[in-house]
Chains A and B, each alone.
Chain A
Amino acid sequence: MAAGSAREGGTGGRHGLTAAPAPTPSPSPAAARTRESAAPAPTGRRPRRARRRGTLIAWAFLAPALVLFLYFKFIPMFEGLRMSFLEVRYAGDRFVGLDNYSRILTDEAFTEAIWHSVVLAVGTTLGSIVLGLLLALLIEGPARYLWFVRTAAFLPVVTTMAVVAEVWRIMYHPADSGMINSILGWAGVAPQPFLASEDSSLLSIMGMSIWRGTPYDMMIFLAGLVGVDRTLYEAAAVDGASTWHRLRHITLPALRPVFWILFTLAAIRGLRVFVEVYVLTNGGPNGSSEVLMTLIYKLGFQKGELGIAAAGGIVLFVATLLLTLLVQVMRRRQAA
């Protein structure tokens, strides 16, 4: 599933940004030929013992990775699933069936947190994709000086999340002397409370996430734009098509795979958001920006409700899985 979407993103950017390591399926003709002519020969000629030795060596090389994946990915995952049916206590765990799940789905704090996660995910995703596309279209082109603009604009993506959040927390300072409020002041806008108000805390977090997500989406769009067939533009110009028509009928259809991959990724990332909220508001004020992950964290590490926290993790996992499947189904249907 993931490989499929990566491949599409990869083919889009084959000309410029992606080179060899991208998982594009088409190797150079020369490489394909050498592999075809050379690979089958040794396996056919080699005795069975040598082949078994080869298998052993392969597993030996894989062993460190498999051990680490087992300990830090798979065992925790199955532990999480097991724990989600338990009430975890010092005296001994008690099996409670689906109680943890039903508590999550009925508890008001949880339903609100799920709702906030969804709002944050949708808002951030849409905002970043729309702005990213717009900026990509504006700075698309071969001009030399543009690399500087692209590099500068990309900086938010590589910066440390915790630092970005601290910086924005300072910029969002609610008094009229706060940085963003000063800038708004020049435009005659009254000071906003931003993170300090229940009405605007979630929106303010969204603003920062869009700021950080837009350059990433822009870069992926730029990679996709490289793959658009230029001769179609020429043909459209000959036919007298306007810029809007060209965009609507050539560019956007060509970018469709990019939209799908960005949408899936951003939505998944949005659902599991933690650091942003933890640093900026820690769910406050008055729970107005509490998301699923911050709630899970508080339940698990501060209140010791491990079973419920684990069930929350599973709910998040299922939501992520459903979302991915939904996007895949929609994409298939549209492609057909």
Chain B
Amino acid sequence: MSNVPDGLKYAKSHEWVKVEGGAAVVGITDHAQHELTDVVFVELPPLGASVKAGAPCAVVESVKTASDIYSPVTGVVRAVNPALTGNPALVNSDPYGEGWFFRVELASADEVAGLLSSDSYRAQIGG
């Protein structure tokens, strides 16, 4: 069964969001990393990029295929995880920790409220 920690918000497209003040840290869920299988490359948005909720902003490549990652929130990218360049497998081993993708300065704090709770996301992935 996939790990869906409480206290985070989730997008239907399998990204998680952790709100810290006016910023949000974004990564992909344990369910998503399991579905993608071995992650071998991550392409992150450039610093300063404007990302829009629901729009593709990063790419995760597994051994088999490339998959778009969608930003769950709107705002400006203020940090990206440098560790993923050298060790993309962190996405598999620690999706909610060292495998985070990027940090967004939120355009509107209200937007986060519209994302899924851990319970709703658990229901979406069937357990």
Do chains A and B interact in one complex? no
Q: A interface vs B, CB < 8 Å?
A: none
